[in-house]
Amino acid sequence: MSSQPSSQPIAFQPAVEPVIATTWPVAEVLALFNLPFNDLLFRAQQVHRQHFDATEVELATLLSIKTGGCPEDCGYCPQAARYDTGVTAQKILPLATVLEAAREAKAHGATRFCMGAAWREPKDRDLEQVEEMVREVKALGLETCATLGMLGVGQAERLKDAGLDYYNHNLDTAPEFYANVISTRDYQHRLDTLGRVRGAGIKVCCGGIVGMGESRLQRAGLVAQLANLDPYPESVPVNHLVQVEGTPLHGLDPLDPLEFVRTVAVARITMPKARVRLSAGRRQMGEAVQALCFLAGANSIFYGDKLLTTGNPEVDEDQALLAKLGMHTRNTAIDARCDVTEES
Ligand code: SAM
Ligand code: DTB
Ligand code: SF4
């Protein structure tokens, strides 16, 4: 990966340079990873309980509004056109279909609705349709999130004006490992988009994927990158690689599940007030590992039987797991009342 400024057309120069502080040197993040497991979880629990109700979880539902046919080469992704994964390219979904899914998500208790598109970057005419979706989904009383690839000049502002609450754009892995996974855009492009999102006043949802063959040091490198964004992201999805046949990363040795739990704990300690989301890979994880992730400070999940193209636990299964753990779901109406009380 190159850390040089990109030589892309002017449209991809950052509107606002993201500030990278060194609040968390990689060595310190690695030292957290290296703690005895019980000490690490104890520290994560302490931090979690200082900032959140440790029995509360946020439910975010995903919808793929434009599936497949993507020109990028992300080695993990079933939607890249160049890999033979069985995902077929589709057109952008009609507004009515999106709204039906959003209503259903709300009826099942989700508070956030995230719309994902298999684009390198949105074209201006695509963005018009997404703006409409954002406006209408927000009008249903859901928090809105979109993940559409890289954003160019003015695009983040348009999404903000439409009412977008969060933009998801992941750093995916440590800078040193990045070139092993993706060659069609570099790390700086991602930082540029994050700078634009911040600059437009949209909350940042940014995380990564573990289990792609990276080392523990590189997992620490990813967490340090996220934690050193200033401010760090409001929302941090920690994805476990879902290995999809046909992608270059299919067939890797699976990551030790306890290493995934450690990653969640370190994210919680280094980004105390963030929503740390237990993201892709839950179906392969089993209940005990998920319970450890909640203990380690995860307080959000993707909810609904599908992620973008791959499976996620069924709604009933998740309800049963949360009930078994005595966890309750976030209520944004109550949060809003508390916010008003705090300000007055
Ligand atoms: N195309 C846009 C982009 O890449 O910015 C948005 C959609 S893309 C699918 C969103 C994120 O999903 C990726 O950055 C990656 O972190 C995650 N993702 C994709 N495939 C995955 C997989 N097989 N396992 C885990 N996470 C995955
Ligand atoms: C994120 O960090 N993970 C989600 C969401 N943001 C867009 C996507 C996971 C995708 C898993 C593979 C698939 O279903 O295609
Ligand atoms: Fe395209 Fe996003 Fe998949 Fe990369 S992760 S191939 S940009 S859909």
Supply the pLDDT for residue 22.
Answer: 76
Beta strands in the chain (DSSP E): 19-20, 56-66, 112-117, 143-147, 166-168, 203-205, 208-210, 229-230, 235-240, 275-278, 300-302, 328-329
pLDDT digit string, tens, across residues 49-80: 999 999 999 999 999 999 999 999 999 999 99
Residue 21 has pLDDT above 90, yes or no: no
Q: What percent of the chain has pLDDT over 70?
A: 90
Q: Which of the ligands is closest to the CA of residue 189?
A: 1
pTM: 0.92
State the distance from the centre of ligand 1 to the C-alpha of 12, rounded, in angstroms.
Answer: 20
Distance CA 129, CA 271 (A): 34
Substitution candidate for ligand 1 out of 126, 239, 249, 302 with most atoms within 8 A of CB: 239
> pLDDT-based confidence at 17, cuts 50/70/90?
low
Element (DSSP H or E) covering residue 27: helix 26-33
3-state SS class at 296: coil
State the distance from the centre of ligand 2 to the C-alpha of 269, rounded, in angstroms.
Answer: 24
Cα angle at 138 between 56 and 336, to 5 degrees? Answer: 45
State the distance from the centre of ligand 2 to the C-alpha of 342, rounded, in angstroms.
Answer: 34
Residue 36 has pLDDT above 60, yes or no: yes
3-state SS class at 159: helix
Residue 293 has pLDDT above 80, yes or no: yes
Substitution candidate for ligand 1 out of 87, 114, 126, 147 with most atoms within 8 A of CB: 147
Q: What percent of the chain has pLDDT over 90?
A: 89
Q: β-strand 56-66 against 19-20: which pairing, if any? A: unpaired
280 in contact with ligand 2, CB cutoff 6 A: yes
Residue 239 has pLDDT above 60, yes or no: yes
> pLDDT-based confidence at 332, cuts 50/70/90?
confident
Q: Which of the ligands is closest to the CA of residue 86?
A: 2
